[in-house]
Amino acid sequence: MAVVDELLRSETDGTISFGNHKLADKAKLEDFEHCGDLYKVKTFKTMTKLERNGMFVYESVPGTSVLHFAESADEVNFIVEGDEDAQITLDLNEDTEYEVFVNEKSIGKMKTNLGGKLNISVELAGAGEVSVKITR
């Protein structure tokens, strides 16, 4: 499995990778600049959280490693790894319906709440890398 040893990094394709689900102790990295935004990540075995410009973006319980995280107005996609199944929360548009794909297979349509949060469960135990795509 490919954890992100530096906690947060820019990829050559313009995406970011973050999180290290193998850490026994909490670690964080603040003020990481990527494409004009400042990111902050907190990560360890039981939780991974990403913020952009002080605003919530991603959280998983337990902790995960996220590779090639990209978001646009209509889509979020990334690859996620973890030792256990994870509950992932993303900040998207409020009160909006999205279709969620895991390993390129639709798991259905889900609607965000009034705060724009979308919660999904991803089976990671023994799965290695799992791709996630969320489209409006």
Torsion of CA 75, 108, 91, 123, to 10 degrees: -110
Question: Rounded to a whole number, what is the largest CA-CA distance in the chain?
Answer: 36
* pLDDT for residue 127: 79
CATH number at 8-135: 2.60.220
The pTM of the full predicted model, rounded to 2 decimals, is: 0.93
Average pLDDT score over the chain: 94
Distance CA 71, CA 108 (A): 19
Measured in residues, the chain has a length of 136
Query: Percent of the chain, pLDDT > 90?
Result: 90
* pLDDT for residue 90: 97
The residue ranges of every structural domain in the chain are 8-135
* pLDDT for residue 33: 96
pLDDT tops 70 at residue 7: yes
* pLDDT for residue 75: 96
Query: Percent of the chain, pLDDT > 70?
Result: 99
Tens of pLDDT, residues 45-70:
999 999 999 999 999 999 999 999 99
Tens of pLDDT, residues 62-103:
999 999 999 998 999 999 999 999 999 999 999 999 999 999
